[in-house]
Amino acid sequence: LPAAVTVEAAGAVGAAGAAAPARDAVLLEYLAAAREAVAAQRDVLLGYLGVAGGVAPPAAPGLVASGLGAVPAAAVVVDEPPALVARAPAGPVTRADVLRVVLDIVGTRTGYPEDMLDPTLDLEADLSIDSIKRTEIIGELAVRLRLPGAEGAVDEAVVERLAKVKTINGIVDDVVGFASGPSEPPAEPTTVDPTAVDPATVDPADACPAPADAPAAPAAARPTRHVVECVPVEDPSGPGSPGSLETPEEGPPVAGRRVVLVEDGAGVAWALTELLEAHGAEVESTRPGADVCVVEGADTLVHLAALGDGQDPVLPGAFPLLRAALLGGVRQVFLVTAGGGHFGRGPGAANGPDPVPGAGLAGFARAAALEFPDRVVRVVDVDPKEEPELIARRLLAEARRAGGTGQPVTIGLSAQGRRTLRPRPSPLSTLDPTDRDALLRTRLGPDSVVLLTGGARGITAQAALGLARATGCRLELLGRTGADPTPEDPA
């Protein structure tokens, strides 16, 4: 990251740190109220279904008037819904049950695939899960496992304690400890038969050996490999032609829209302004770095700064404007990049500017499209060497086409047609460790230098050790946090 961004982020974190306890307290109070509301609704529903433990609803007046009478609760035979059974397993809570629920919640809340969630990883350092997200995860975990508290309610002290645990293994161990309840006074020494112990309920720190028939730990799945390629966009209405890039027959009109253009200085903004105004749109042009209030009341934002002749990156400078547009209700956001219509993946891509002016915009567009599913967010890649009028016509056609369904977030426009980025499976070769190390040594050796970003813990540390052992190369570690002299917690 640029130094200015790092310093600014560090200052923001420091300013927010003082308010963290009050913020966490408000969040815990909100989660407690939400859990109470859900618990009340659940009790009423179970009572309506005739399940024990529910609150019976009042008799319906219509039934009494008709002489049918009320059906006794004992006569109603209704099994508890499977979802409720899954959320509150009967009998003692086993470690396997807790681990399965924790992995499901963390994966759902963060988007990480469950096979990537190593229980030993640091939630904050390795997975970037901050204290707020951890509190949300623990709150849902408390509800799903019905952690005990006063009169059946969730104990906020338990939630607060679990939210401070940094690893999935640590959370699982604490939850199993809470579910086990207070320990009984020690009895007379007895001989324990290992085969009588449920291996799932034994804490890993205990000295009791696992029984012979204990389920084996799941084998690590073979990693999958994909290669990102630039491929033609599949047109739901049938195969298209290069001409359809500029003159779509379908799509909403632009008349009456208020469009804000961030200028490029290369003529595309001028050509697009004339074209939009000719179609009845109200256009306002602004320079990069303009005040965020320029997007107030806008329907569409077209950011063209990456097409300029300068090599200054668009991000992070454009982030405040893009954030204001999305939060302010702008319905369409188009981020235009200059990768030749194929996102810099064709011949000559290595000769482009460094850093690439539009670097990061595709990732921002994907993230924004997920967070704002009711908006149209696109990154549109064009060839800046083409005539500005041609680029403008294609952008106008894309703006009209964007209202349709099934359109990808990343779109490349060139003479070859509309293209997008798609991952293609590219399986790893099957090599034993000896052959794999030999293949590495053909590319890396003692004179090679490998730069690893993201710190030196968890997955990165394992990759660093593997590279060093196999090739003897020199390693340079890059991270935002300083070296921690304390040993890493193996849990």
Same domain, yes or no, for 321 and 347?
A: yes
Identify whether 46 is part of a domain.
yes
Q: How far apart are CA 380 and CA 333, in angstroms?
A: 10
> What is the reported pLDDT for 429?
72
Read off the CATH number of the domain in which 244 is found.
3.40.50.720
Tell me which residue range forms the domain holding 342.
Answer: 230-424
Same domain, yes or no, for 406 and 450?
A: no
Q: pLDDT band for 224, please (50, 70, 90 cuts).
A: confident
Instruction: Retrieve residue 449's tokens.
Output: 């230098």
Q: How far apart are CA 408 and CA 400, in angstroms?
A: 14
- CA-only gyration radius of the chain, Å: 29
Tens-digit pLDDT profile for residues 386-425: 999 999 999 999 988 876 566 899 999 988 889 999 988 8
DSSP H or E run through 29: helix 20-49
Same domain, yes or no, for 322 and 375?
A: yes
> What is the reported pLDDT for 65?
35
Q: Mean per-residue pLDDT for 252-278?
A: 92
> Which contacts of 150-154 are long-range, i.e. CB under 8 A and separated by 24 or more positions?
152/39, 153/32, 153/35, 153/36, 153/39, 154/32, 154/35
Q: Mean per-residue pLDDT for 427-446?
A: 76
Same domain, yes or no, for 343 and 472?
A: no
Query: Residue 51: CB partners within 8 Å, gap ≥ 6?
Result: 78, 80
CA angle 457/461/467 to nearest 5° reads: 170
> What is the reported pLDDT for 426?
86
Average pLDDT over the chain, rounded to an integer = 73
DSSP assignment string, 420-445: EEEEEE-PPP---HHHHHHHHHTT--
Identify whether 210 is part of a domain.
no
Return the SS3 of 271: helix
Q: How far apart are CA 174 and CA 176, in angstroms?
A: 5
pLDDT-above-70 percentage for the chain:
61
Same domain, yes or no, for 365 and 337?
A: yes
- The pTM (predicted TM-score) of the whole model is 0.51
> What is the reported pLDDT for 74?
38
Tens-digit pLDDT profile for residues 281-304: 999 999 998 899 999 999 999 999
Check pLDDT > 70 for residue 348: no
Q: How far apart are CA 97 and CA 171, in angstroms?
A: 13
Tell how strand 449-453 and strand 332-337 pair up. Answer: unpaired
Identify whether 242 is part of a domain.
yes
Instruction: Count structural domains, the chain.
Output: 3
Q: Mean per-residue pLDDT for 8-26?
A: 50
> What is the reported pLDDT for 349?
57
Q: Mean per-residue pLDDT for 318-329?
A: 94
Same domain, yes or no, for 331 and 471?
A: no
SS3 string of 163-210?
Answer: HCCCEHHHHHHHHHHHHHCCCCCCCCCCCCCHHHCCHHHCCCCCCCCC
Same domain, yes or no, for 146 and 280?
A: no
> What is the reported pLDDT for 150?
39
Q: Mean per-residue pLDDT for 228-240?
A: 70
> What is the reported pLDDT for 37?
74
Q: How far apart are CA 339 and CA 346, in angstroms?
A: 9
Identify whether 2 is part of a domain.
no
> What is the reported pLDDT for 322?
95
Check pLDDT > 80 for residue 353: no
66, HSE (Cβ side, Cα atoms, 13 Å): 7
Q: How far apart are CA 441 and CA 451, in angstroms?
A: 17
Check pLDDT > 90 for residue 268: yes
Check pLDDT > 80 for residue 449: yes
DSSP assignment string, 295-309: GTT-SEEEE-GGGSS
Which stretch, 73-87, 116-130, 279-293, has highest mean pLDDT?
279-293
Same domain, yes or no, for 415 and 457?
A: no
Lowest mean pLDDT among 121-125, 148-152, 337-341: 148-152
> What is the reported pLDDT for 242?
41
Same domain, yes or no, for 236 and 109?
A: no
Same domain, yes or no, for 235 and 322?
A: yes
Q: Are 118 and 458 in contact (CB under 8 A)?
A: yes
Same domain, yes or no, for 311 and 445?
A: no
Same domain, yes or no, for 42 and 161?
A: yes
Q: How far apart are CA 386 and CA 270, in angstroms?
A: 15
DSSP H or E run through 231: strand 226-232
Higher-confidence residue of 136 and 481: namely 136
Higher-confidence residue of 267 and 162: namely 267
Q: Mean per-residue pLDDT for 227-256?
A: 66
